[in-house]
């Protein structure tokens, strides 16, 4: 038995960074607060896959696709041998492992591309920003989630295969992907370490992550970092002055036009107060509200509110909308009761861009509990 280096340093870095990025994207996918982290690890994920495609052509011997591109017969024979007393052994990727690798790369690319399309459509950010509608973005989101679950399934099968192969061949495949070395009965040369390529990979990763997250290091208490900046929404001086006297001047896009029509029609009974607006001011505010209501779908939140409020429903409060309830149902009552929040209507307590009316993912900060 001789000990040879099978996996070069770039392949090992790729493998473990891909594992890390996949776990990180999975852990951050269900919390809009960490959407920018999810996006970064998604960029890392697709960058690693693109590197693997290149390295599969120009990399060291066992990393090249041509070395483990097995046909159906080879895969069948290898699978049968696993149930025999002498299972076939391969120094590099075995036929079953090669299937998992090609499946992971293929599904990974689908996950990554659908993620970019979701970011462009549903969030209107990234390289595809403005090219797709919110509705199309939601379709891409579905594809993104389904393909991610399929990828997770393939990864699970791959891990199981690694465990089984390690047992049958009496070799630690996980350790070999850490050290790069494997034992073999046939005398074969070790592959080059390719340390320069590995250093270049790490350098690109460090520089890109520093550039991407620099806002967190330069922010101040008075000027917190907003990872995503929404569109510049239409404004009206009269709207700002009249509404902000009592509460946040909620942008019209947060309610459908029929809600604003009813609010101004019933101005004398405005949640216990009389707005006492003259006819000219009432007309100006009414026109502004109707022209820029949720039906305009200028932001993601406007689109989701407009598509979740039943046509027969006329909510007078944003907190009465289906979408608002869905997004806030997990927030504990103690948060609402804190002095720095005090009300469900106090959007600015948690949303840094509440005054702009954009309510971007990543601009939300739930206040810490005060003893």
Q: What is the pLDDT of residues 269-315, one digit of tens each?
A: 888 888 889 999 999 999 999 999 999 999 999 999 999 999 999 99
Whole-prediction pTM value? 0.89
Q: What percent of the chain has pLDDT over 70?
A: 99
319's tokens = 């907190």
- 48-57, 69-78, 284-293: segment of lowest average pLDDT: 69-78
323 contact partners, CB below 8 Å, separation of at least 6: 301, 304, 305, 308, 309
User: Cβ distance 352 to 226 under 8 Å?
Assistant: yes
Q: Using DSSP, state whether 346 is helix, strand or coil.
A: coil
Radius of gyration of the chain, Cα coordinates, nearest whole angstrom: 28
* Size (the chain), residues: 371
* Chain center to CA of 69: 32
The span from the CA of 252 to the CA of 243, in Å, is 11
The span from the CA of 362 to the CA of 205, in Å, is 22
Q: What percent of the chain has pLDDT over 90?
A: 67
Q: Which residues of 231-265 are buried (b: 16+ CB within 10 A; e: fewer)?
A: eebeebeebeebbeeeebbbbbbbbbbbbbeebbe
Whole-number average pLDDT of the chain: 91
Question: Closest Cα to residue 321, out of 359, 349, 276, 286?
Answer: 359
* pLDDT-based confidence at residue 371 (cuts at 50, 70, 90): low
The span from the CA of 137 to the CA of 122, in Å, is 4
* Domains along the chain with CATH numbers: 2-218 (1.20.950.20), 237-349 (no CATH)
- 102-111, 116-125, 225-234, 267-276: segment of lowest average pLDDT: 267-276
The span from the CA of 109 to the CA of 104, in Å, is 8
> What kind and span of H or E run contains 182?
strand 181-184
User: Cβ distance 293 to 256 under 8 Å?
Assistant: yes
pLDDT value for 178 = 93
Q: Which residues pair with 182 in a beta bridge?
A: 4
């Amino acid at each position: 038995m001789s000990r040879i280096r099978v996996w070069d340093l770039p392949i090992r870095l790729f493998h473990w960074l891909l594992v890390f990025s996949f776990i990180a994207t999975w852990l951050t996918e269900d919390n809009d607060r960490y959407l920018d982290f999810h996006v970064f690890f998604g960029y890392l994920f697709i960058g690693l896959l693109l590197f693997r495609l290149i390295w599969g052509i120009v990399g060291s011997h066992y990393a090249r696709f041509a070395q483990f591109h097995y046909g159906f017969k080879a895969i069948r024979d290898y699978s049968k041998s696993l149930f025999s007393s002498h299972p076939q052994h391969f120094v590099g990727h075995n036929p079953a492992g090669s299937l998992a690798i090609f499946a992971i790369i293929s599904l990974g690319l689908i996950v990554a591309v659908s993620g970019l399309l979701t970011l462009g459509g549903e969030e209107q950010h990234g390289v595809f920003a403005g090219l797709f509608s919110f509705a199309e973005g939601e379709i891409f989101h579905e594809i993104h989630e389904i393909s991610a679950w399929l990828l997770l399934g393939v990864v699970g099968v791959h891990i199981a295969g690694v465990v089984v192969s390690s047992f049958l061949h009496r070799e630690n495949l996980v350790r070999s992907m850490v050290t790069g070395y494997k034992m073999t009965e046939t005398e074969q040369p070790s592959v080059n370490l390719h340390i320069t390529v590995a250093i270049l990979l790490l350098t690109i990763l460090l520089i890109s992550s520093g550039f991407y997250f620099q806002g967190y290091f330069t922010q101040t208490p008075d000027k917190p970092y907003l990872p995503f900046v929404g569109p510049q929404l239409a404004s009206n001086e009269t709207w700002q002055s009249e509404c902000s006297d009592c509460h946040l001047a909620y942008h019209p896009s947060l309610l459908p036009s029929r809600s604003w029509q009813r609010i101004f029609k019933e101005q004398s009974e405005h949640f216990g107060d009389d707005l006492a607006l003259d006819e000219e001011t009432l007309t100006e505010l009414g026109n502004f509200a109707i022209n820029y209501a949720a039906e305009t779908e200028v932001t993601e939140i406007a689109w989701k509110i407009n598509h979740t409020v039943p046509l027969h429903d006329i909510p007078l409060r944003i907190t009465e909308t289906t979408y608002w309830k869905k997004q806030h149902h997990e927030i504990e009552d103690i948060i609402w009761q804190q002095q720095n929040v005090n009300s469900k209507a106090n959007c600015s307590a948690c949303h840094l861009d509440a005054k702009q009316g954009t309510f971007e993912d990543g601009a939300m900060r739930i206040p810490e509990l005060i003893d």
